[in-house]
Each structure stands twice: as C-alpha cells, then as structure tokens.
C-alpha cells in the first residue's frame, strides 16, 4: 500500500485502524478499550510525518457521520491518526447529533493518509478519479478527498463547483477567479471496515 512515498504493510495498516478505533472508544468513555498505542511509536514507519483524515459512515446507508483531519504533515503518522480519530467526534456538521458509543457497531471506519500537497498550474489540472483537491480563494479554503470524485463520478468542473459552494461557501464558479489556487494530493486509503470487528 502506498501514498506518495509511504508504504505500509497489511499489519501496519491494521495497527493504525485499531489505533483509531481505540482512540474513538476512549474519547466516548469506553474504559475497557485494549491496546498499547505506545508500541506504535517504536515502529519506524509510524514516525513518518503525514496528513490524515478519519471518516465514519453508517454501515447500511453509507451516510456520513463524520470526516475530519488535516492536510499538513507536521506530526508522526501514528499521532496524526490519533488526532484525527479524536477530532472526527467533533465534526461541526454533526454538532446536534454526535456519534455515541452505542452507535459504533452500526458504523464503518476509514482512514486516509495523505501525500504532500502538489501545486497545480491551473484549477483544472487534476485527475478527478485519483487526486484529492485543496482549493484556496483569498482567505477561504476547502478540500475534497480523492474518494469524492470516485464515488460521485463528478467532472473536474463539478468537483470544483461543489467545493466552492459546500466548503468555501462561495459562488459555484468562484474557482475561475484569477486568485484561485489549487493543490492536489493522493491518499492511501485504509478501509472502509466495520467499526466493530468480530
């Protein structure tokens, strides 16, 4: 598995998924959660800096229940996963309907480990089936993970229009402004897997 120069073994991927699960359970008050996150710090691969997003969806409907993370690679991989897993429970879109401990067996978990951002020469210079996009216009910014293009089948223009409206809260054609700046990234996707494993 790879994202940019990052390579993870299946065992390392499983460790990160379990780390995210444990972090979420503990944040929701489950004192019985097992695991030793300190062991991950001993793995050299886990020391690589990485950007990370953690997503929660309903198993049956695939309805989003939270997706939070960060693009910058300032912390080691295992700490970025912990931070994003904890933060997904505070997704402001679900402030009035937060994820609960009893709900976890009805959810699936996905982790996106991000490559460094790459500058695009113009806003249409990206592959909608493979690239994540990060758009800035003035003081506003927003991103779509690579999964969005694959899951929706939207064109480049449609992705940029929805990004402007949904994340930047601007007009759909704002991406055409001269000051619009696009960066792209790839992601190594772990999961989705049922949150509660047998």
pTM: predicted TM-score of the whole model, two decimal places: 0.89
Q: Do 82 and 37 touch, CB atoms closer than 8 A? A: yes
Summarize pLDDT for 138-164 with one digit per residue, the tens. Answer: 999 999 999 999 999 999 999 999 999
Answer yes or no: is pLDDT of 2 > 60: no
60 and 8 part of one domain: yes
Quote the domain boundaries for residue 174: 118-185
CA distances from 9 to 6, 14, 63, 150, 191 (A): 10, 9, 29, 24, 14
Residue 125 has pLDDT above 90, yes or no: yes
CATH of the domain at 135: 3.30.1490.150
> Which tokens sit at 81?
């996963």
Asked if residue 137 and residue 109 are part of one domain, the reply reads: no
pLDDT digits (tens, 9 = 90+) for 60-105: 999 999 999 999 888 899 999 999 999 999 999 999 999 999 999 9
* Structural domain count, the chain: 2
Mean pLDDT of the region 22-35: 82
Q: Are residues 95 and 128 in the same domain?
A: no
40 or 160: which carries more pLDDT confidence? 160
Q: Is the per-residue pLDDT at 36 higher than 70?
A: no
Interval 116-137 mean pLDDT: 95
Torsion-angle region of residue 191: left (phi > 0), alpha (psi -120 to 50) or beta? left
């Amino acid at each position: 598995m790879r994202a940019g120069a990052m390579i993870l073994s299946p065992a390392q991927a499983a460790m990160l998924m379990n780390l995210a699960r444990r972090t979420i359970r503990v944040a929701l008050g489950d004192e019985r959660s097992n695991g030793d996150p300190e062991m991950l710090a001993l793995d050299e691969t886990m020391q690589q800096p990485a950007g990370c997003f953690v997503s929660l969806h309903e198993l049956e409907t695939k309805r989003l229940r939270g997706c939070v993370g960060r693009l910058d690679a300032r912390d080691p991989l295992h700490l970025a996963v912990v931070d994003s897993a904890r933060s997904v429970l505070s997704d402001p879109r679900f402030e009035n309907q937060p994820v609960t401990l009893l709900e976890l067996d009805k959810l699936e978990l996905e982790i996106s480990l991000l490559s460094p951002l790459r500058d695009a020469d113009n806003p249409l210079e990206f592959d909608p089936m493979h690239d994540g996009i990060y758009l800035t216009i003035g003081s506003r910014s927003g991103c779509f993970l690579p999964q969005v293009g694959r899951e929706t089948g939207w064109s480049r223009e449609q992705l940029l229009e929805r990004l402007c409206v949904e994340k930047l809260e601007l007009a759909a054609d704002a991406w055409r402004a001269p000051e619009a700046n696009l960066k792209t990234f790839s992601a190594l996707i772990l999961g989705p897997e049922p949150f509660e494993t047998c």
